[in-house]
Amino acid sequence: MYRGRFAPSPTGPLHAGSLVAALASWLDARAHGGVWLLRIEDVDTPRCVPGAERLILQQLAACGLVADEPPWRQSERGPAYADALQQLVAAGRAYPCACTRRDIDKALAARGVVHERFAERVYPGTCRGGLHGRPARAWRLRADGRVRWVDRRLGEAVQDVGAEVGDFVLKRADGLWAYQLAVVVDDAAQGITDVVRGEDLADNTPRQILLQHALGLPRPRYLHTPLVLGDDGHKLSKQNGAQALDLADPLAALRAAGAVLGLPPLAAEDVHDWLAAAVPAWAGIIAAFDERLRKRP
Footprint of ligand GLU on this chain (CB under 6 A)?
A: 7-9, 41, 183, 197, 201
Question: What's the min distance (Å) between Cβ of 208 and ligand GLU?
Answer: 8
Q: How far apart are the two ends of the chain, measured CA to CA in Å?
A: 30
User: Cβ closer to ligand GLU: 15 or 140?
Assistant: 15
Q: What angle do CA 43, 228, 160 make, to 5 degrees?
A: 60
User: Cβ closer to ligand GLU: 61 or 201?
Assistant: 201
Could you give the CA distance from residue 166 to residue 156 in angstroms, rounded to a whole number? 21
Could you give the CA distance from residue 27 to residue 41 in angstroms, rounded to a whole number? 21
User: Cβ closer to ligand GLU: 104 or 195?
Assistant: 195
> Binding site annotation covers 6?
yes
> Binding site annotation covers 292?
no
* CA atoms within 13 A of residue 251's CA, in its CB half-sphere: 12
Question: What's the min distance (Å) between Cβ of 177 and ligand GLU?
Answer: 13
Question: What's the min distance (Å) between Cβ of 262 and ligand GLU?
Answer: 20
Question: What's the min distance (Å) between Cβ of 247 and ligand GLU?
Answer: 20
* CA atoms within 13 A of residue 172's CA, in its CB half-sphere: 13
> Binding site annotation covers 8?
yes
User: Cβ closer to ligand GLU: 115 or 213?
Assistant: 213
172-200: b or e for each residue (b if 16 or more CB lie within 10 Å)? eeeebbbbbbbbbbbbbebebbbbbbbbe
Could you give the CA distance from residue 53 to residue 70 in angstroms, rounded to a whole number? 13
> Binding site annotation covers 9?
yes
> Binding site annotation covers 63?
no
> Binding site annotation covers 48?
no
Separation in Å, CA 70 to CA 10, 57, 67, 82 = 16, 11, 7, 23
User: Cβ closer to ligand GLU: 25 or 126?
Assistant: 25
Question: What's the min distance (Å) between Cβ of 44 and ligand GLU?
Answer: 9
Residues that constitute the known binding site: 5-9, 41, 97, 99, 123, 127, 179, 197, 238
Binding residues for ATP: 238
